[in-house]
Amino acid sequence: MNLSEPTTDIRVLHLDGSPVHYRLAGPADGPVVVLTHGLSLDQHAYDAQVPALVAAGYRVLTWDLRGHGRSQPIGDGISVEGAARDLLALLDAVGAERAVLVGQSFGGMIVQECATRHPDRVAGLAVIGSPALGDRPNAVMRALQRLRIGMIRFWPDALLRRVFAAMVTRDPEVRAYVAAATAQVSRAAFLAVSAAAMDGHLRAEAAPTHRRPVLLVQGDREERPVARAMARWAAADPAARHVILPGGHLVNQESPESTNEVIIGFLGSVCHQIPVAEGDRHPGADEA
């Protein structure tokens, strides 16, 4: 995965102190699909998905969450709710009345939040390796997660990033990408996003039923708490499609062809509901 490719098609939307970088690919008249990456990564997390989606006729928007990739500095901070607002601003910027939202891990929380707060803007959700918002772990797991977040604040920076890369994937090529992407994120931003992800996972209130098509994708080596949470989500929503593919937490990178097939199949079932985007420019957006 190449983090230094030409940036001629990168655009910037200035939001609350952060220059949020995003990219559009695919036919201007295609249904809009937004891909949101996870903690410490960037839009290149979906490099294996974008060409396949574009070839299938979709207008694909990828972006760097604030504090990630080129979206530096982090600005007014990051939270699940704030990132969902950023995502909505991107939809406005490209003139997308409705879109299908795809999110991995922390990105999965963000797209759920966006669908909950703005259901009229979301035609469907594809969530990769992320629990349902409001599905809290038990008291012991909550205590352990809080302890882990507290402890990593005292870890040496190099150790923190090395352990993170080792935790999220076994694949050497994907691990190299994670290390390179994480190196772009400041220590302060990494800790802030880690805390935001924990807050999203531990929130007390349950998210309402999204009342729209949902695709749940996970790896067969997904962390046990996340895997169990996704199984509970699938059991609670008979309309949700739950797919388990070979891989771990970053299954879309570890099994890209299978992931692409599943996502494209899902999009084919929901994208007839999406009107064509009205335009891809917005006051406040500019070229990088």
Q: Which tens digit of pLDDT belongs to each residue from 136-189? A: 766 766 676 677 777 788 889 898 899 899 999 999 999 999 999 999 999 999
Kindly state the average pLDDT of the residues 209-227. Answer: 88
Q: Which residue has the higher pLDDT, 2 or 77?
A: 77
Start-to-end Cα distance in the chain:
21
User: Percentage of the chain surpassing pLDDT 70?
Assistant: 85
Spatial separation of the C-alpha atoms in residues 288 and 281, rounded to whole Å: 13
Among 141, 181, 182, 130, CA closest to 160: 182
Altogether, the residues listed in the chain come to a count of 288
pLDDT at 91 over 60: yes
- The residues that bridge with 127 in the sheet, in sequence order, are 103, 216
Check if the beta carbon of residue 4 is closer than 8 Å to that of residue 180: no
Listed range (33-37, 60-64, 216-220, 280-284) with the worst mean pLDDT: 280-284
Burial of 151 (0-12, 13-18, 19+ CB in 10 A): exposed
Domain boundaries, the chain: 10-275
> What's the pTM value of the predicted model, to 2 decimals?
0.90
Kindly state the average pLDDT of the residues 131-135. Answer: 87
Spatial separation of the C-alpha atoms in residues 86 and 91, rounded to whole Å: 9
Q: How confident is the model at residue 4 (pLDDT cuts 50, 70, 90)?
A: very low
Kindly state the average pLDDT of the residues 47-75. Answer: 97
Listed range (76-85, 102-111, 145-154) with the worst mean pLDDT: 145-154
The pLDDT of residue 278: 58
pLDDT at 113 over 80: yes
CATH assignment, 10-275: 3.40.50.1820
The pLDDT of residue 239: 84
pLDDT at 208 over 60: no
